[in-house]
Amino acid sequence: MQLQTDLETLRFSTIQFNAQAQLTLNSATSYTVQIPTGGANHRELTRDLSATGVQVSGGNLSYTPPNARLGATVRVYSLHLGDANLNLKVIGVTGKTVLSATN
């Protein structure tokens, strides 16, 4: 399933999320995630979903600094594809990943 493939691709591309990570919607069927890795360097993932017939209707990235009690960062990637809302959370330095999808 294409959406699952996208989630898996993003899972391995979001472990290094930080406050400077950016999500850009290039078109109705394409998006880019850019993750700074130090200095002028960055990792970039661009996905074009035009062949799938799925529309990208919105998305966002958010970063929560370490929680004083939990000692964990929470990095959230949300992507809205067609009628589906896909959410990816990466929690703490262990990179524990929580995936959820609704449609």
Q: List, in sequence order, every residue forming a beta bridge with 13; answer none if it has no partner.
A: none
Pick the residue with more confidence: 72 or 45?
A: 45
Cα 103 to Cα 101: distance, rounded to the nearest angstrom = 7
- pLDDT above 70: percentage of residues in the chain: 26
Environment class of 6 (CB within 10 Å of its CB; exposed 0-12, middle 13-18, buried 19+) = buried
Q: Taking a C-beta distance cutoff of 8 angstroms, is the pair 31, 56 a contact? A: yes
Q: What is the pLDDT of residues 3-34, one digit of tens each?
A: 555 555 555 544 345 556 677 778 777 777 77
Pick the residue with more confidence: 71 or 23?
A: 23
pLDDT (0 to 100) of residue 19: 59
Report the SS3 class of residue 69.
Answer: coil
Mean pLDDT value across residues 36-58:
71
For the whole model, what pTM was predicted? 0.48
Cα 5 to Cα 74: distance, rounded to the nearest angstrom = 22
